Structure 1
């Protein structure tokens, strides 16, 4: 048990994606804040580590092959992130903006927090749009070049940004920013809980925010904890050959 306590949250989720649901249930950040030990995460969340560890130990020790992202090739994983998570953000951002504007317009007089929520949704959508463009046009194509260089035994391709560490650092900072927007929205909305008697649009808005956050956590986990560390390692390996 003590060994599991000292492992990082990110490592456990990377090994078995099903663990993400347990951390989510206990309010533990497994994406941006996943670099700390389970013991420390439990201290911050004020929960008994033995309870969390018991649940983790009851998970199926063999991850679902379809979700074993840690075994995927980096170019394939990058494409998956674009096709699944980037597409989700692009498809749902306009809907979030419409919901935020409508609900604030109709109910903002009684629920004054809705004005700040709408403002945060606008910032979140704008931030994610620019962030994903940079990944698709700059970072991910370079990661694919690293994969190709390894396969063909050629040198690391030259870039205008130097090491892959530079754009990765920028992307991680932007992940933190997006996560903070959603964290504040969650605080203002009592964990995306609509008030009693809320209309269907109000309820749909908060349900979509909750769904958006869950997708973002998975999205950031795949990048921060799997794609980015492996890309850094691959670049170093190629440079040393």
Structure 2
């Protein structure tokens, strides 16, 4: 981790996923906004660079093999994203919407922000559902075809969407939209802090929202910072050979 200030947030998280916890602690976006240098990220978030560097340097230098996503083959990584993160979203969105509806019904008259939170969450649910289907039915199968073409020495398969850069740009834009919606929810909920005396459902709702956002950050990081750049590189290499 030499010359930390000139490295990007995404690079450090890609090298060691534990760095994500440090950036989360300081409120620095490591998924959609991970392409900026540490210097610029700290300036934007009004964070002391020296303190952030100290925490990053204190990270365990040994990366758990199970979390060393940067070394995984792309087809395996797409399966992981589907089996872990897409499954998580599909299973937890209905629960979040149930919590939201119940808390809004009981407490919405007093905590008026709950109505907007519910509306934002409903939008996130719809957008992520459509987004994941596009990845599972279009983009990820093409990634697997690229991996197969590389191993078999065959040409890049034809697509209806042109170069893979086209769907990737769309997915990145949708990631940004989802991130913006979750940030708005976090702000409205005071970073998922339930009000004093909140009932257990209220507390469970905010705790689950916090967990959901953290999973989404990891989900987007794997795609934006690892899967997508490597897919673009692989397609280019195959077309030029």
Give the TM-score normalised by structure 1: 0.99
The CA deviation string for residues 182-239 of structure 1, in whole angstroms up to 9 with x for no partner, is 0000000000000000000000000000000000000000000000000000000000
Q: Which of 56-65 and 4-13 deviates more?
A: 56-65
The equivalent of 2:192 in structure 1 is: 192
Post-superposition shift, 1:62? 2.2
Post-superposition shift, 1:2? 7.6
Post-superposition shift, 1:3? 1.5
The CA deviation string for residues 94-148 of structure 1, in whole angstroms up to 9 with x for no partner, is 0011111111111000000000000001000001000000000000000000000
Post-superposition shift, 1:60? 1.5
The equivalent of 1:28 in structure 2 is: 28
How far apart, CA to CA, are the structure 2 residues paired with 1:17 and 1:2?
Answer: 17
1:147 equivalent in alignment to 2:147 = yes
The equivalent of 1:52 in structure 2 is: 52
Written as runs of structure 1 = structure 2, the 5 A alignment for 1:42-191 is: 42-191=42-191
| Structure 1 residues 88 and 113, CA gap change in structure 2 (3 angstroms) | same
How far apart, CA to CA, are the structure 2 residues paired with 1:27 and 1:112?
Answer: 26
How far apart, CA to CA, are the structure 2 residues paired with 1:152 and 1:62?
Answer: 34
| Moved beyond 6 Å, runs of 4+ | none
Matched residues, number: 241
Q: Report the 3-state secondary structure (helix = DSSP H, G, I; strand = E; otherwise coil) of the residue aligned with 1:60.
A: coil
The equivalent of 1:216 in structure 2 is: 216
Q: Report the 3-state secondary structure (helix = DSSP H, G, I; strand = E; otherwise coil) of the residue aligned with 1:27.
A: coil
Q: Report the 3-state secondary structure (helix = DSSP H, G, I; strand = E; otherwise coil) of the residue aligned with 2:20.
A: helix
How far apart, CA to CA, are the structure 2 residues paired with 1:66 and 1:98?
Answer: 33
How far apart, CA to CA, are the structure 1 residues paired with 2:59 and 2:194?
Answer: 32
Name stretches of at least 5 consecutive residues in structure 1 with no aligned partner.
none
The CA deviation string for residues 15-69 of structure 1, in whole angstroms up to 9 with x for no partner, is 0000000000100000000000001101111111010001111112221111000
Post-superposition shift, 1:86? 0.1
CA RMSD, 1 decimal: 0.8
Name stretches of at least 5 consecutive residues in structure 2 with no aligned partner.
none
The equivalent of 1:4 in structure 2 is: 4
How far apart, CA to CA, are the structure 2 residues paired with 1:61 and 1:154?
Answer: 39
1:13 equivalent in alignment to 2:3 = no
Q: Report the 3-state secondary structure (helix = DSSP H, G, I; strand = E; otherwise coil) of the residue aligned with 1:190.
A: coil
